[in-house]
C-alpha cells in the first residue's frame, strides 16, 4: 500500500521539535557510562523538599481520583504567601502551559508578539502554532533591549514577553528600566514577565513586579515549582494576573491539567522556606566557584542571576559539548540556544561543578593541542 502523507497545517510543518537537555538514561545507553553529571536543564541538584516527598507518598492513596481542576487549595495558599487574591492565580502543567494558554486565547492569525532574540524558545513556538508572528529584538550584551522592544509595537501587537532573568543568558533587566517599560506598554497589550528563576535572584536592581499588578491589568507574571523547588518532573507552574484574564484562560485550559501529586508536592513545598533559602545560598556559592574558575581559564560569561551560566568560547559550543559528553558531563551547546560559540551549564553541587571544570579544561586543552 502506498502511504500518502496526511496534510498538516503549514505553521506546524515549518516548526522544529523542541530539543531538551539529554536525559541521563540516554547518555548511559549511548556511551556505556555508569556515572553521569547532568548540568543541561537548569534542574535543582539538591532535589526537592522532604515535605514534598512526604506529601507525594501520602497522596498516592488518591491516585484513582481525578484532581481538582483549578487546584484551589494550592492557589489559596500561594495567594496568602504572595499577598494577592486567589482569583489572580492560575496553575499550569508547568509555566509552559500558561504560555500556551495565553497564546491560544489571545493570538490570532497575523497578530504580533514581541520577544527578545535570544530567549526562552517556547514563546516563539507557541505564537507560531497559534498563527501569530514573532517579532524578535536582539539582546544587548545578553540583556533585553526594552527601548527597541517598545519601538517595535504596532497596531498588530498583542503581547510582549520579557524573561527576567533571561534564559539562556541569566541576565536581568535593570529595575527602573523595566518599571518604565511596564508603564509605557499600552494597556491593551499583554506584557508577560517570565520569572521562572525569581527565587535565585539577590540583586537589589531586580524589580519586584507583584506590587505593580494592581495598577496594570495587562501585566502577567509567570513562576514555577520546577526550578528552586525541584519539582521539574511533576510539571507545575503558575501565572499571576488580573482575574479577568484568568477567566478567559479557563475556557481553553484542559480540565485536569495539574495532577494530584504535583498539587500536593507544591502545596507542601510552600512550607519549607529553609529548603529554598538553602538552595539559593548553595547556588550562589556554586556560581561564584564557577565564575572564579572560568576567569582563571581565561573564559568569559554573561553575568547570571539564575542557576546557570552561559559561557563564551573561542570555538563552536557544539564541539565542546561533544567532548564533555564523552567524559560523562551533559551541558547545553550554544547552537541550540542562539549563540553558536557558547555553552550553557547548570550550577550543580560542589562535586558536579568540579567535575565540569576538570572536564572543560581537558576539552579546551585537547582542542588547543590539535
Q: Identify whether 108 is part of a domain.
A: yes
CATH number, domain containing residue 319: 3.90.1150.10
92 in the same domain as 176: yes
Among residues 269, 287, 313, the one where a domain terminates is 269
Give the CA distances from residue 281 to residues 200, 202, 287, 354, in Å, rounded to whole numbers and listed in that order: 8, 10, 10, 18
Quick one: how far is CA 114 from the chain centroid? 18
One DSSP character per residue, 252-299 reads: TS-TT-S-HHHHHHHHHHTT-HHHHHHHHHHHHHHHHHHHHHHHHTT-
Q: What is the pLDDT of residue 301?
A: 97
Among candidate residues 159, 227, 224, 221, the one with its CA nearest the CA of residue 194 = 221
Q: Give the pLDDT confidence score for residue 369 in this predicted structure.
A: 55
Residue at a domain's end among 222, 249, 269: 269
Per-residue pLDDT, 159:
98
Domain that holds residue 23: 10-38+274-369
- Same domain (yes/no): 198, 330: no
CB 126 within 8 Å of CB 103: yes
Residue at 246 is within a domain: yes
235 in the same domain as 95: yes
CA 349 from centre of chain? 20
Tracing cell 532574540 back to the chain, one arrives at 117
pTM of structure: 0.94
Task: Classify residue 43: in a domain, yes or no.
Answer: no
pLDDT value of position 1? 54
Does 1 map to a domain?
A: no
Q: How many whole angstroms separate alpha carbon 305 and alpha carbon 263?
A: 28
> In this structure, are residues 163 and 120 in contact, taking their beta carbons and an 8 Å threshold?
yes
Cα three-residue angle 165-169-173, rounded to 5 degrees: 40
306 and 256 together in one domain: no
Give per-10-residue mean pLDDT for the chain (370 aa).
72 75 72 82 97 98 96 98 97 98 96 97 96 97 97 98 98 98 98 98 97 97 98 98 98 97 98 98 98 97 97 92 93 89 97 97 75
- Judge if 153 and 203 occupy the same domain: yes
Residues 316 and 297 in one domain: yes
| Assigned domain for 3 exists | no
Contact 36, 24 (CB under 8 A): yes
In this structure, the answer to whether residues 278 and 262 fall within a common structural domain is no
Considering the domain boundaries, does residue 253 fall inside one?
Answer: yes
Distance of CA 168 to the CA centre of its chain: 9
Whether 31 and 61 share a structural domain: no
185 with 282, same domain? no
54 and 183 belong to one structural domain: yes
> What pLDDT, on the 0 to 100 scale, is given for residue 281?
98
Which set of grid coordinates corresponds to residue 214?
494592581
CATH number at residue 240: 3.40.640.10
Question: Do 243 and 332 fall within a single domain?
Answer: no
Q: Which pLDDT score is estimated for 368?
A: 57
Q: Where are the beta strands (DSSP E) in the chain?
A: 37-38, 89-92, 112-117, 133-138, 157-163, 190-194, 219-224, 237-240, 300-301, 308-312, 329-330, 332-333, 342-346
Residue 2 placed within a domain: no
Nine-digit cell string for 158: 498583542
Whether residue 64 is contained in a domain is answered as: yes
pLDDT of 2: 61
Domain termination residue (choose one: 269, 299, 316)? 269
Total domains in the fold of the chain = 2
Q: Are residues 261 and 279 in the same domain?
A: no
Amino acid at each position: 500500500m502506498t502511504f500518502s502523507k496526511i496534510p498538516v497545517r503549514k505553521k506546524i510543518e515549518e516548526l522544529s521539535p523542541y530539543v531538551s537537555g539529554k536525559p541521563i538514561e540516554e547518555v548511559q545507553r549511548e556511551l556505556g557510562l555508569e556515572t553521569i553529571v547532568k548540568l543541561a536543564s537548569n534542574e535543582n541538584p539538591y532535589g526537592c523538599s522532604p515535605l514534598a516527598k512526604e506529601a507525594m507518598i501520602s497522596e498516592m492513596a488518591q491516585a484513582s481520583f481525578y484532581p481538582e481542576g483549578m487546584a484551589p487549595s494550592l492557589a489559596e495558599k500561594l495567594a496568602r504567601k504572595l499577598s494577592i487574591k486567589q482569583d489572580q492565580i492560575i496553575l499550569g502543567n508547568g509555566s509552559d502551559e500558561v504560555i500556551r494558554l495565553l497564546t491560544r486565547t489571545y493570538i490570532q492569525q497575523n497578530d504580533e508578539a514581541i520577544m527578545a532574540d535570544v530567549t526562552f524558545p517556547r514563546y516563539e513556538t507557541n505564537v507560531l502554532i497559534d498563527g501569530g508572528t514573532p517579532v524578535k529584538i536582539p539582546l544587548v550584551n545578553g540583556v533585553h533591549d526594552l527601548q527597541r522592544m517598545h519601538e517595535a509595537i504596532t497596531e498588530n501587537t498583542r503581547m510582549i514577553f520579557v524573561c527576567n532573568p533571561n534564559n539562556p543568558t541569566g541576565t536581568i533587566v535593570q529595575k527602573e528600566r523595566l518599571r518604565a517599560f511596564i508603564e509605557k506598554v499600552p494597556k491593551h497589550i499583554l506584557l508577560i514577565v517570565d520569572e521562572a528563576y525569581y527565587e535565585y535572584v539577590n540583586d537589589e536592581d531586580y524589580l519586584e513586579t507583584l506590587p505593580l499588578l494592581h495598577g496594570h491589568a495587562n501585566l502577567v507574571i509567570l513562576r514555577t515549582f520546577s526550578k528552586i523547588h525541584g519539582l521539574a518532573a511533576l510539571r507545575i507552574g503558575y501565572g499571576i494576573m488580573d482575574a479577568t484574564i484568568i477567566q478567559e484562560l479557563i475556557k481553553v485550559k484542559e480540565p485536569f491539567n495539574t495532577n494530584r501529586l504535583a498539587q500536593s508536592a507544591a502545596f507542601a513545598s510552600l512550607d519549607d522556606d529553609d529548603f529554598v533559602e538553602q538552595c539559593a545560598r548553595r547556588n550562589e556559592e556554586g556560581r561564584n566557584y564557577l565564575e572564579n574558575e572560568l576567569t582563571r581559564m581565561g573564559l568569559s560569561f554573561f553575568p547570571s542571576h539564575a542557576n546557570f551560566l552561559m559561557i563564551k568560547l573561542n570555538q563552536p559550543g557544539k564541539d565542546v559539548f561533544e567532548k564533555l559528553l564523552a567524559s560523562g558531563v551533559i551541558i547545553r551547546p550554544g547552537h541550540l540556544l542562539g549563540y553558536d560559540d557558547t555553552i550553557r551549564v547548570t550550577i550543580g553541587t560542589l562535586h558536579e561543578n568540579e567535575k565540569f571544570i576538570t572536564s572543560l579544561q581537558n576539552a579546551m586543552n585537547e582542542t588547543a593541542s590539535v
